[in-house]
A and B are shown apart, each in its own frame.
Chain A
Amino acid sequence: MLNSVPSQDNLVSVRNLSFSRGNKKIFDDISLDFQRGKITAIMGPSGTGKTTLLKLIGGQLFPDQGVIHVDGQNVHKLRRTDLYNLRKRLGMLFQSGALLTDMTVYDNVAFPLREHTHLPESMIRTLVLMKLQAVGLRGARNLMPNELSGGMARRVALARAIALDPMMILYDEPFTGQDPISMGVLVHLIKSLNNILGLTSIIVSHDVHDTSAIADYIYVLSEGRIVGQGTPEEIQRSDSEWVQQFMTGAADGPVHFHYPAKDYVDDLMSTGNRY
């Protein structure tokens, strides 16, 4: 099913990707496709390198093996200026928001516009207010990032990510640490931005419930491999034990509750050293 020629329907295609950090293999020969105009989710337990995947797609990290095409361009073969031009068309929402702490909300959203365009300030003002209106924070424009709640910071970051009208947004754990209301707001925003602006979205998350509610396609990763993929319904019905454990959140299963250790009784009975 996965051929080596990137298809036109896919905005991003990842082929035979391997990546390791130190001795730890983060990805082992995985291939994924991200369709234009769709929301694709990458799910898996913490520490499976989901954020790493986004950084690989954005060209911040280099793979050990494999190629990543974004809009037909091989990300890791691009010259620096071309890579930067590609990044101008990508928005990335960091888990922490990554707002510049020495600037107001307004200046943060204006930042990419001021850096990359020569628009007059009056035009920038209009654009910034439009983007802030879209995330419902036009009234918060004069606040500093440390005065924002976590959910608000993420919405400001989202407004900044769409400031240059990108073709794709990468979301890094957008739902982590959100209260139910801001969670609902974010879910709604991601879905509506994707549909109204015709974006392509990639969501990295371990939040099963809310992510499956808006995703069109889901990849489930574990220990560097794809253990399940399909539409949310297909994933729900998956017969893989691992996927079932992940989706239902069972404490024990293919993923063990206990970190590998020697036998419990032996460990208790052994005397001598502290460890």
Chain B
Amino acid sequence: MSQFIQDLGKSTRTSFTKLGRSTYFLLQTVSGILSVLLRPRLLLNQMYSVGVLSFLIITISGLFVGMVLGLQGYYTLSDFGAEETLGVMVAASLVRELGPVVSALLFAGRAGSALTAEIGLMKATEQLSGMEMMAVDPVKRIITPRFLAGLISMPLLAGLFSAVGIIGGQVIGSGLLGVDEGAYWSQMQASIDFQDDIINGVIKSVVFGFVTSWIALFEGYDAIPTSEGVSRATTRTVVNSAFSILGLDFILTALMFGDH
């Protein structure tokens, strides 16, 4: 019993010190934003590797998710003779939920894990400490541009995901199943609200981008600089990001759509 209490105390302390380290790390990262904006080249390079290289996985997944929504939605809606509203259903699910959430999960797997591994290996090969000795702050030079790139890329990728998904739903809905194309688009236009649906979806994806980039970069920076340490850190990035994304999605949804 006393062993259990000891272990509990120990793990509580460990997780709180880690929380403290990660908060301090975030503050350091954010404090470098101005100096990164003065050197847009650094940011653009990272936008490429974090954002542009995630294009393919996001586009293909978005297409399939939209197509599945088209199929499932049609079967349910046609029972009520409401297949004309397929566009609304597809668009609302994508813009409010699936776009931000699924693209963030994919982003954590594709870009987040790569960031953790990259930073962890830079630490293991003394590149970060080498920079410090060259009087270059590794957080400002390496971490902040990547963080900012993640923050900017995430909403753009989520938007792309939703847009491709809506097209996928349309291809299945009106191409395959015979929903009127005009109804698909006009019902969607009439029902989807810019503020309630689109802006809220964008807010979600900004939050997810923030959290995922933070977790990925911190895990890399905090990794034990061995091959095992880096591999564990990469796993933690994907697992913790997934939990955070899903948990935050619930909280944000409750806050945003609670009063309807």
Q: Is the CB of B130 within 8 A of A98?
A: yes
Chain B residues near A88 (CB, 8 Å)? 134-135
Complex alpha-carbon distance, A55 and B128, angstroms = 13
Asked if B1 is at the interface of the complex by the 8 Å CB criterion, the answer is: no
Number of interface residues of B (CB under 8 A): 14
Chain B residues near A87 (CB, 8 Å)? 132-135
Chain A residues near B131 (CB, 8 Å)? 100
Asked if A149 is at the interface of the complex by the 8 Å CB criterion, the answer is: no
> What is the interface of chain B, defined by CB distance below 8 A to chain A?
122, 125-127, 129-137, 141
A139 to chain B, nearest CB (A): 24
Q: Which of A108-116, A126-134, A182-190 contacts B (4 or more CB under 8 A)?
A: A108-116
Asked if A90 is at the interface of the complex by the 8 Å CB criterion, the answer is: yes
Asked if A46 is at the interface of the complex by the 8 Å CB criterion, the answer is: no
Complex alpha-carbon distance, A58 and B132, angstroms = 9
Complex alpha-carbon distance, A111 and B130, angstroms = 12
Chain B residues near A160 (CB, 8 Å)? 134
Interface of B is mostly: helix
Complex alpha-carbon distance, A100 and B134, angstroms = 12
Asked if A101 is at the interface of the complex by the 8 Å CB criterion, the answer is: yes
Q: Is the CB of B129 within 8 A of A98?
A: yes
Q: Is the CB of A100 within 8 A of B127?
A: yes
Q: Which residues in window 68-100 of A have CB below 8 A to B?
A: 84-85, 87-88, 90, 92, 94-96, 98-100
> What is the interface of chain A, defined by CB distance below 8 A to chain B?
55, 58, 60, 84-85, 87-88, 90, 92, 94-96, 98-101, 111-112, 115-116, 160
Chain B residues near A85 (CB, 8 Å)? 135
Chain A residues near B136 (CB, 8 Å)? 111-112, 115-116
Partner of A60, one of B125, B127, B132, B141: B132
Q: Is the CB of B134 within 8 A of A111?
A: yes
Q: Is the CB of A116 within 8 A of B135?
A: yes
Complex alpha-carbon distance, A215 and B183, angstroms = 85
Q: Is the CB of A58 within 8 A of B125?
A: no
Q: With A98-B125, A101-B125 given, is the CB distance from A115 to B134 under 8 Å? A: yes
Q: Is the CB of A94 within 8 A of B134?
A: no
Chain B residues near A94 (CB, 8 Å)? 126, 129-130
Chain A residues near B134 (CB, 8 Å)? 87-88, 92, 111-112, 115, 160
A164's nearest neighbour on chain B, judged by CB, is B134
